Amino acid sequence: MDKNGEVKLLKPKLKLYLAAPRGFCAGVDRAIKMVELAIQKWGAPIYVRHEIVHNKFVVDQLRSKGAIFIEDLNDCPSDRPVIFSAHGVPKSVEKEALDRKMIYIDATCPLVSKVHNEAQRHFSNDRQMVMIGHEGHPETIGTMGQLPAGEVLLVETVSDVQKIEPRDKNLLAFITQTTLSVDDTIEIITALKKRFPNIIGPHKEDICYATTNRQTAVKVMSTKTKTMLVIGAPNSSNSNRLVEVGLKAGCSYACLIQRATEIDWVALKDISSIGLTAGASAPDELINEVIAAFKDRYETTVELVETAIENIEFKVPKILREFS
């Protein structure tokens, strides 16, 4: 009862484990800056082929500043700049922009570009490529589109490894999408090496540092709580993988939400602890919004679960660093 004689309900206690690292990675941060700088340099509208990153909140913010998101270059006038998304594009898209003499800026994550370069190098050495990735994902489409049709065979699962029929089983190399489950990918690579002993892979894992770090934090967090929320978009590959990793690591409840309004409070009614992380394209605003929502309902203690410190930064292209 407070000093006015009114009954004051006590909030239940909650331990909120906050993963670190979480949220934006260097590639996402760079891509968003590129759109903002392009609008500053050339004025609105600036066209962006595909969502610059897979997050509705980010896309809507950039749209409000003057970005127009398209899926086909035919929807972009030739006299306006166009930016290619962080996921990368097939070579045919770049050729179309060149043929139309468009100003185009490539916001492909440098770690995705590294995979593109690997594919090109192996192709130059007469090796056919096996790509471990998700069919239809823009990164997979962009990477496979670096080489002529038929030069890249896609596998999504261990069982897919038994189905592919390469030209020459002794002239194979594998590459991977950068946002996969680390553990699932290791299983697929093991299956590939078993069926094709002479297959070669990258010197260093293609799965990016941010994907690996966020999955590691989820595994550690799952030793402290069996309930987890992942902030991210439904079409975000790395965010969906975080949910899967949490469930595989022993969480009884792991759910993907885009923001606080999507929290299922009924499903969480009996919890005393929860883990919170965010995919690589989820901004701090959404993370803070979810934490605030828990503090409204619970007497919340936040504990950081830090498994790595990230200080990587990717520079924007020279054309956006030099304003005329």
Q: How high is the pLDDT of residue 38? A: 97
What is the spatial order of strands in the sheet that 227-231 belongs to?
253-257, 227-231, 273-278, 13-20, 299-306
Residues 277, 221: one domain?
Answer: yes
Low-confidence spans in the chain with pLDDT less than 50 = 324
Domain membership of residue 81 (yes or no) is yes
- For residue 143, the enclosing domain spans 110-195
- One domain for residues 241 and 283: yes
Considering the domain architecture, whether residues 91 and 154 belong to the same structural domain is answered as: no
Summarize pLDDT for 29-64 with one digit per residue, the tens.
Answer: 999 999 999 999 999 999 999 999 999 999 999 999
In a domain, 52, yes or no: yes
Residues near 145 by beta carbon (within 8 Å), at least 6 away in sequence: 89, 90, 91, 92, 93
Do 59 and 86 contact (CB within 8 A), yes or no?
no
Is this prediction's pTM over 0.85? Answer: yes
Q: Which residues are catalytic?
A: 139
The domain spanning residue 86 has which CATH number? 3.40.50.11270
pLDDT tens-digit series, residues 250-267 = 999 999 999 999 999 999
Q: What is the pLDDT of residue 324?
A: 46
- Cβ within 8 Å of residue 15, ≥6 positions away: 225, 272, 273, 274, 300, 301, 303
Do residue 18 and residue 49 come from a single domain? no
User: What is the count of structural domains for the chain?
Assistant: 3
